[in-house]
Amino acid sequence: MKSTYDLISHIPAYMIELISSQILGNPADTGRLAEGLSDDKRLRKILEALGDKPRSLLMDLFELGGQVQWDVLAHLYGDELDEARQTLSLLGKEGIVFQGGLTGRDPLILLPSVNPLLDAVRQKQYKPVEDLAWNEPKRLDVWGHMALINTVRSTRIRCRSGMEPFKRGWEFLEEKLGDLIDLKRIYWELVDLGCFWDKKGVVTVAHNACTDLAIDGDARYPLWRFVQTCKPYPGIEIKVVDLLGEKALARDFLSRALVLFLVSRTPEVPEARQIIAGLVDLWIGLGVLQEDTLGTWIRFTPGVSSGLKAGRLEVPLQSYAEEVIIQPNMEILVPKDFDPVDILNIGEIADVVLCDVVSIYRLTRKSVFRALHEGWNAGKIENFLDRISRHEVPDNVIKTVAGWSRSHSEAHIITGTFLVLPDAPHKAPQGLEEILPGIFRIPEKCGEEVRAFLDKRDVMVRGVDLVWDREEEGGINWGKMMPVEALARYQTKAVRKEEGVYPFGMVAPLPYGSKGEVVFEEALHVGKSLIIFYPRQGYGEIQVKKISPVYIYRKGGAAFVEAFCEDTGEGEIFEISKVRALFKEG
Amino acid sequence: MKTSDKPVIVQSDGSILLEVMSPRYEEARDAILPFAELIKSPEYVHTYRITPLSIWNAAAIGLTFDRVQTTLMIFSRYEIPEGVLFRIRDAFSRWDAIRLLRHGDGVLKVEVRSRELLEEITAKPFVRNALIDQIEPLGFTIPEDIRGRFKHLLIKIGYPVNDLVGYDPGDKFPVELRETTLAGQRFTLRQYQTEGADNFWVGGGPRGGQGIVVLPCGAGKTVVGMEVMSKAGTYTLILCTNVSAVRQWISELLDKTTLTRDDIGEYTGNKKEIRPVTITTYQMLTYRKTRNAPFEHMKLMQARNWGLLIYDEVHVVPAPVFRATTEIQAKRRLGLTATLIREDGLEEDTFTLVGPKCYDVPWKELEVKGFIAEALCYEIRLPLPPEKEMEYALASDRSQFRIASENVYKDRVMKDIIRKHADEPILVIGQYISQLKRIAATLGAPLITGATPNTKRDKLYEAFRSGDIPVLVVSKVANFAIDLPDASVAIQVSGTFGSRQEEAQRLGRILRPKERISTFYTLVSQRTTEEEFAHKRQIFLAEQGYKYRIEEWTLDEINL
């Protein structure tokens, strides 16, 4: 409902006078009712008179967009639903809360005219960030990821399809890293990021993706992790961005708003409060959110809000520990806060012995061979060690690595795509490497180009499709959810127009079975008239009738009431079970 | 890693990295040494480890948790991992939780700190069956003869027993240290030797009398043993690693104490003398004819009323000797070693049955003070002769190693080295007799092998010592021949390279204090299996803190 007029237009015309009499104290037409309900003074007076609980209920409805499914409310309030229902009835009597239908379980609608007043209350939950003292934001690094990558690189972890390592693999990793990192989480994160892949049943490190992670991890990983934690609750990351913006928000209010969001999307979610409390703590731990020193206010850590929209943080140049120690026993001691890119490089040339406060790597014949396979050579290793080492690299280390490098014989198994053009080698694109006469090697990712070139020269190309090794496909996969995009508004179910909208509690469904009959019996007994909502015979359209019961009887198992209808001035018979609702007067 | 005034890094597994280049290195080292074991000491960062045993050793000399925590906090560059502090606190809480005291003749009293612990211990079948009587509030009595087994059992469940029972003094037999050795040299104890002996003895009361003195090779552990013998003044049984060591002990005792040859018994394969001071080998004690036969010579442990047992190189005590030691817990027990680390992981047995560490001093400190020589290690790599390359390629693994070891180019390189150290005593050490014969012939130097008669050996040693022979070629007898004269240069032309012990022993030949730096050369054939073994040695020596240099000689350099 966009406006109070819009809301009033959903009230059946024949109810307008009745409702305005009830709320405003005198009968009025649609326009007057809308004006009366929107009267600012009246609304302020009502709001000021409200206690904490009704006010917080109103705020909940407002935060939920002013229109709420009944089951959402039922989940939110749980054991306190009856109390909430009473509060809503009071608010209904004041024309603040409406319900769109006659079943009693229809959506609740907040009077649109009250929104500006509630919004003003909401704004009090915000503060400028400069007015508060903030705790140091937590800093998330990718050290654990680098440690795991290097550990996997140093050994051979076999896995099932789906990248799940076998028990022994897990045990090995657990033994090496279990006390230091959240092993399983980080493992699966690396799989998600494309840093590990399954090469014939062995967990294999994807060089490019890992390098990307090492280079860009500081800027992107905390955001990526934030988005990952939001995945089970679609849209919550957008809600957080929406709620916080660049301001500080009361922690309680943020939590409540997120609980409302969560329950409104998935009412069946259990323990929503605990989930949100856990998430907020986690986001603070990730350094995405920042807490004030009293723990009562929350904001986005500077740069995060814009970072979420851009997909990466503006990270200042990191001051990493500058050097490692290379010992004569071939050990490399690497501090935890060493540059991740160089940690990754160390893992390429040396085996992990221990990951800890200071990690220990060891240069071994095997590790040096592995490095040579990955394109290193003795000189490159020496220069690298020289660059990162605090002290002069021990002579025996250099000589031993050089010795190992020399003892490494090389053979090449060339895989790739080749252009076989023995009859017309001159038609081959210039610059291609000619492996054998008339046989050219096509560089990676140039297949399509070469094909297009040959097409233009009327060369019919036959052979396999140009498929490249997965490892060579590219870098890290930060996923589709980055950056965080604009909020798509959540819509509640449409109000059933045919049944109309009524102030909450003013119209109630007739109790089921004999309890419904009792309502008519009591009216008959005390001589009271009732306003009933009754479907017009043959049309299904709901009619409102003011009746005075005269006689109640049963026929063929159904209960009927014979009553005097004040609208028509005639006696009519109504089947009690078909009465949809009663209007509560007074 | 920037050098800082906080040179200690405490790792989550309880190991401690100590930066040597820090200005506060020495201060930090002295502070952590009482509660952490030195694992390795390569050039820049030394590794220590805190274990329950190291903490109990510390607790035994009166250190507290607070003191350890404060020490770590003073020197630690990063926050100390919580788990480490927890484990240290736990280990401290277990020390002195159970005390063993004398209760009467043949009966010992066990005092336990808490009711829960008392119930836990007495629920063990071994204790339940041995228990004589409950003593309120928290104690019980056991027979004296299960003293060792009781302590052994309790340490297995994580509780070290504080043994305050005291000792059987043994039969009296005074031993005095000489002021001038038989060889005519002035003899006094070095400060650390006196401290080691005093820490063991603790005034002769029940708090001392069992423990291990840790000193580096060449630092004079034997002398500490002799000082303890003079304090105890009792019948003494000394257990060594081999016959050579037995002989060395005998000669040292004769040289530096008032003991005569008649006072000293050699209990080895050749002789079975049992005298007031008897020296034997672990091998002798654990000898048996068949696998299931009893240990014939183990009765030596009870053959006299010994008042003191000395376990030389205690880190290699074999398991059966430990078992026998459990029965003689009333005797004072001194362990001597350069390291508490055992290859077989039986450190707990050493702690319980021989005793806690009572003294330790790092070798670097002794090197700085000039008590042991500074040593440089060189590995010289040289190619195989071209004519041997094919033979090498086609040979079996074992033969390959021999071909590499006997590389004839080594002879030429060795000559170069000898020329370079012309004025120094040089030992050439090797594995293969044929190779050594060839070398001896080439150099015109005498050769000592296992077959060389003792009289001839002694003559050659004397000639080497006096400088008449500048170069001595020796086979693997050098590994344990403690009477081998000191040299300042050792050239290892071949070896098994498998054993860290062998490496340490060979290096030990050149570690006696001297004015010049000692040099240890190893010749290795390039691109052969010998290189792999050499690498292991390289790691071992580097971790001991020796400077290790590698030189590569080309064919041209060799031929020149």
Q: Is B466 on the interface with A (CB under 8 A)?
A: no
Kindly list the residues from chain A whose CB atom is less than 8 angstroms away from the CB atom of residue B539. Answer: 329-330
**What does the alpha-carbon distance between residue B273 and residue B264 come to, in Å, rounded to a whole number?**
8
Record: contact B45-A400, CB cut-off 8 A: no
Report the pLDDT value the prediction gives residue B406, as an integer from 0 to 100: 93
Output DSSP code: residue A529: -
Higher pLDDT: B409 or B352? It is B409
Q: How confident is the model at residue A490 (pLDDT cuts 50, 70, 90)?
A: very low
Record: contact A329-B550, CB cut-off 8 A: no
Q: Is B9 on the interface with A (CB under 8 A)?
A: yes
Q: Is A577 on the interface with B (CB under 8 A)?
A: no
Q: What residues are paired with B359 via a beta bridge?
A: B213
Report the pLDDT value the prediction gives residue B178, as an integer from 0 to 100: 94
Q: Is A321 on the interface with B (CB under 8 A)?
A: yes
The mean pLDDT value for B356-360 works out to: 83
Q: Looking at A42-51, B44-53, B493-502, B537-546, which range is the least confident one?
A: B493-502
Q: What residues are paired with A326 via a beta bridge?
A: A332
Q: Is A353 on the interface with B (CB under 8 A)?
A: no
Could you give the percent of chain A with pLDDT greater than 90? Answer: 33
Report the pLDDT value the prediction gives residue B245, as an integer from 0 to 100: 80
Q: Is the pLDDT of residue A468 over 50?
A: no
Q: Is B393 on the interface with A (CB under 8 A)?
A: no
Only one residue has tokens 């092998």, namely B449
Closest chain A residue to the Cα of B537, Cα to Cα: A329
The mean pLDDT value for B324-350 works out to: 77
Q: Is B527 on the interface with A (CB under 8 A)?
A: yes
Q: Is B1 on the interface with A (CB under 8 A)?
A: yes
The mean pLDDT value for B348-371 works out to: 78
Report the pLDDT value the prediction gives residue A332, as an integer from 0 to 100: 95
Burial of A572 (0-12, 13-18, 19+ CB in 10 A): middle
Min Cα–Cα distance to chain B from A406, Å = 9
What is the pLDDT of chain A when averaged over all its residues?
A: 86
User: Domain residue spans in chain A?
Assistant: 4-124, 325-340+360-406, 417-468, 506-583
Instruction: Indicate if ipTM > 0.90.
Output: no
Report the pLDDT value the prediction gives residue A13, as an integer from 0 to 100: 81
Q: Is A400 on the interface with B (CB under 8 A)?
A: yes
DSSP-H helix ranges across A97-142: 115-123
Q: Is the pLDDT of residue A344 over 90?
A: yes
Closest chain B residue to the Cα of A365, Cα to Cα: B532
Q: Is B379 on the interface with A (CB under 8 A)?
A: yes
* Positions of E strands within A390-521: 417-420, 433-436, 439-442, 502-503, 507-509
Q: What residues are paired with B186 via a beta bridge?
A: B180
Q: Is A357 on the interface with B (CB under 8 A)?
A: yes
Report the pLDDT value the prediction gives residue B318, as an integer from 0 to 100: 78
Q: Parallel, antiparallel, or unpaired: how do β-strands B98-104 and B161-163 relate?
A: parallel
Output DSSP code: residue A508: E
The mean pLDDT value for B3-8 works out to: 78
Report the pLDDT value the prediction gives residue B236, as an integer from 0 to 100: 95
Q: How confident is the model at residue A467 (pLDDT cuts 50, 70, 90)?
A: very low
**What does the alpha-carbon distance between residue B240 and residue B316 come to, in Å, rounded to a whole number?**
9
| Residues 459-488 in A contacting B (C-alpha not used; CB under 8 Å) | none
- Nearest CB among A322, A329, A406 relative to B543 is that of A329
Kindly list the residues from chain B whose CB atom is less than 8 angstroms away from the CB atom of residue A180. Answer: 12
Please report the DSSP string for B310-376 in residue order. Answer: EEETGGG--HHHHHHHHTTTTSEEEEEES----TT--HHHIIIII--EEEE--HHHHHHTTSS--EE
Record: contact A327-B78, CB cut-off 8 A: no
Phi, psi angle pair for B405, to nearest 5°: -65, -35
User: What's the 3-state SS for A454-488?
Assistant: HHHCCCCCCCCCCCCCHHHCCCCCCCCCCCCCCCC
Kindly list the residues from chain A whose CB atom is less than 8 angstroms away from the CB atom of residue B548. Answer: 328, 394-396
Q: What residues are paired with A537 via a beta bridge?
A: none
**What does the alpha-carbon distance between residue B66 and residue B89 come to, in Å, rounded to a whole number?**
9
Report the pLDDT value the prediction gives residue B347, as an integer from 0 to 100: 73
Kindly list the residues from chain A whose CB atom is less than 8 angstroms away from the CB atom of residue B1. Answer: 321, 323-325, 333, 335, 358, 390
Kindly list the residues from chain A whose CB atom is less than 8 angstroms away from the CB atom of residue B552. Answer: 399, 403
Q: Is the pTM of this model over 0.90?
A: no
Min Cα–Cα distance to chain B from A127, Å = 36
Q: Is the pLDDT of residue A464 over 70?
A: no
pLDDT digits (tens, 9 = 90+) for A255-266: 999 999 998 888
Kindly list the residues from chain B whose CB atom is less than 8 angstroms away from the CB atom of residue A399. Answer: 550, 552
**What does the alpha-carbon distance between residue B133 and residue A203 come to, in Å, rounded to a whole number?**
62
Q: Parallel, antiparallel, or unpaired: how do β-strands B161-163 and A126-127 relate?
A: unpaired
Q: Is the pLDDT of residue A484 over 90?
A: no
Record: contact B2-A321, CB cut-off 8 A: yes
Q: Is the pLDDT of residue B112 over 50?
A: yes
- Nearest CB among B13, B19, B548 relative to A396 is that of B548
Closest chain A residue to the Cα of B21, Cα to Cα: A391
What is the pLDDT of chain B when averaged over all its residues?
A: 86
Which domains does chain B possess? 8-93 (no CATH), 98-163 (3.30.780), 191-366 (3.40.50.300), 375-559 (3.40.50.300)
Record: contact B12-A321, CB cut-off 8 A: no
Q: How confident is the model at residue B124 (pLDDT cuts 50, 70, 90)?
A: confident
Record: contact B13-A354, CB cut-off 8 A: yes
Closest chain B residue to the Cα of A322, Cα to Cα: B1
* B39 and B14 Cβ atoms separated by less than 8 Å: no
Q: Parallel, antiparallel, or unpaired: how do β-strands B139-143 and B133-135 relate?
A: antiparallel
Min Cα–Cα distance to chain B from A377, Å = 18
CATH of domain A4-124: 1.10.10
Q: Is A324 on the interface with B (CB under 8 A)?
A: yes
- Nearest CB among A323, A395, A406 relative to B1 is that of A323
* A291 and A251 Cβ atoms separated by less than 8 Å: yes
Min Cα–Cα distance to chain A from B80, Å = 9
pLDDT digits (tens, 9 = 90+) for A124-177: 999 998 999 999 888 888 999 999 999 999 889 999 988 999 999 999 999 888
The mean pLDDT value for B184-188 works out to: 86
Report the pLDDT value the prediction gives residue A472, as an integer from 0 to 100: 47
Close Cβ partners of A475 (under 8 Å, ≥ 6 residues apart): A194, A208, A209, A211, A212
Report the pLDDT value the prediction gives residue A162, as an integer from 0 to 100: 87
**What does the alpha-carbon distance between residue A4 and residue B551 come to, in Å, rounded to a whole number?**
93
pLDDT digits (tens, 9 = 90+) for B56-108: 888 888 899 999 999 999 999 999 999 999 999 999 999 989 999 988 888 89
